[in-house]
Amino acid sequence: MIKEIMLRVYNFIVSRFFLLMRILPLKNSVVILTSFGDNIDYIIRHPKMRLYDEVIIFSSRQYDFKTFDNVKVYTQSNLSVKELYEIGRAKNIIVDNHFPVIGGMSTLKPYVNVFQTWHAVGAVKAFGLMDESFKNRPDCAKARFKKTYQNVDYYVAGSKRMADIFKQAFSIDDKKIIKTAMPRLDFYRDQPNIQSTRNSVRSHLKIDDEVIIVTYAPTYRENQFNISDIPLDISKMIQKLPSNYKIALRLHPTVQLDTDIKGVIDLTDGFSLEEVLSVTDILITDYSSVGFEFANLMRPVIYYPYDLDEYTNTKGLIDDYESLVTTNIAYNTDDILEMIINDDFSAEEIRQFKDLWNDYNNQNNTNTLLSMLQ
């Protein structure tokens, strides 16, 4: 309850600050708040961004953004007066996550638009008002969340399925939905770029194109800090799979590769998600949205929810797991091996899965989003 009181006080102070900022004229600027950075690179590289005097990025993590004369990068902080000042004077605000400062944006000038690009193609894990923890929050907290979500003018949704989830998770209507995919999904509509990226990464890794890369990319779990904590028998996979198969790992940064397994490719650091997926032939994941994104490449995904019951009870899912993913669901290493060795994948199912979660990824997404900026 103390945290809730502090958040309400914070929202009040921020909203009063933005109200005072109304006396100042707007600058010809765009302010971007980011936790992930990937979408932001596509945005700031777009020619329209050169029309603004300033594009000001507040990033909560270190990210190597492309350099342009009108782009400035600062560390994101909810208590930064600089950040509040720039938000209060910007024509357009773009966010890719939920930030507490959004709760005070109701008093921005009426014609200032706030855009939410989000950071995931699809959803398995419950979030927003659908999160299991939301049910146990006090009524005042529920009201605060709903009001905060209303402060965003537009949400980017890459599919009808994701738009429906946003409407439920954020209590919004169709008027707030932009029917286009995230900017960085433009990558998957550029086949020459995909192939060039694939060739470049494989060359860097010194891996021939004949080698089939099976990448395991699990979601973050609070109790896992080492690869040995994950119940996947990588050694057995290396032993049982044909010699032209390689196992790759894309782990959360907090998970350490603490075992010495020869032949494993570590893709955790130094590679963008687009690079990892372009080089991957078969993906293994669980509750991560990476599978929905990988579907754009029309390649097989194996879902490995070995702790499904526990995860469902503690984190909550958007819907029944089986209705969210492909039929290639494995519960142990032997299941995974059987699917790979028997090539137990349906091209038609992969296409349907791609279309379900990416049906709005059929245009220049960055253009569509930025055409709405003032």
> Is residue 261 a contact partner of residue 234, using CB atoms and an 8 Å limit?
yes
Q: What is the pLDDT of residue 225?
A: 59
* Assigned token pair, 154: 């537009």
Nearest Cα to Cα of residue 144 among 12, 37, 46, 48: 12
pLDDT tens digits in sequence order for the chain, 374 residues long:
788 888 889 999 999 999 999 999 999 999 999 998 889 999 999 999 999 999 999 998 888 887 899 999 999 888 899 999 999 999 999 999 999 999 999 999 999 999 999 999 999 999 999 987 887 788 888 888 899 999 999 999 999 999 999 999 999 999 999 999 999 999 999 999 999 999 999 999 999 989 999 999 998 777 665 666 778 999 999 999 999 999 999 987 666 665 667 788 989 888 999 999 999 999 999 999 999 999 999 999 999 999 999 989 888 899 999 999 999 999 999 999 999 999 999 999 999 999 999 999 988 999 999 999 98
pLDDT at 7: 85
- Distance, in Å, from the CA atom of 99 to the CA atom of 77, rounded to the nearest integer, reads 10
pTM: 0.92
**Which whole-number Å values give the CA distances from 322 to 47, 327, 329, in the listed order?**
42, 7, 8
Strand runs (DSSP E) across the chain, as ranges?
29-34, 54-59, 71-75, 92-95, 113-116, 154-157, 177-179, 212-216, 245-249, 265-266, 282-285, 301-303
Q: What span, in angstroms and rounded, lies between the C-alpha atoms of 152 and 349?
A: 35
* Nearest CA-CA partner of 282 in 211, 348, 189: 211
CB 93 within 8 A of CB 31: yes
pLDDT value at residue 263: 80
Position 219 scores a pLDDT of 87
- Give the integer Cα–Cα distance in Å for 103 and 14: 8
Instruction: Give the pair of three-digit tokens for residue 271.
Output: 């590679």
> Helix 2-21 vs helix 81-89: angle between axes, to the nearest 10 degrees?
50
Strand ranges of the sheet holding 154-157, from the earlier edge strand across to the other edge: 71-75, 54-59, 29-34, 92-95, 113-116, 154-157, 177-179
Edge-to-edge, what's the strand order for the sheet holding 212-216?
A: 265-266, 245-249, 212-216, 282-285, 301-303
Burial class (CB in 10 A: 0-12, 13-18, 19+), 281: middle
The token pair at 344 is 């137990």
Q: What is the pLDDT of residue 256?
A: 65
In this structure, what DSSP letter does residue 243 have? T
Dihedral sign from CA coordinates of 155, 286, 248, 60: positive
What is the full DSSP assignment across 132-191? GGGGGS-HHHHHHHHHHHHT--EEEESSHHHHHHHHHHHT--GGGEEES--GGGGGGG-H
Helix, strand, or coil here: 107?
Answer: helix
Helix 139-150 vs helix 2-21: angle between axes, to the nearest 10 degrees?
A: 30
- Could you give the C-alpha distances from 110 to 55, 78, 84, 92, 113, in angstroms and in order? 21, 22, 17, 11, 8
Q: Phi and psi for 32 in degrees, rounded to 5? A: -120, 125
In three-state secondary structure terms, 275 is helix
The pLDDT of residue 61 is 83
Q: Which of 182, 34, 168 is nearest to 97 (CA)?
A: 34
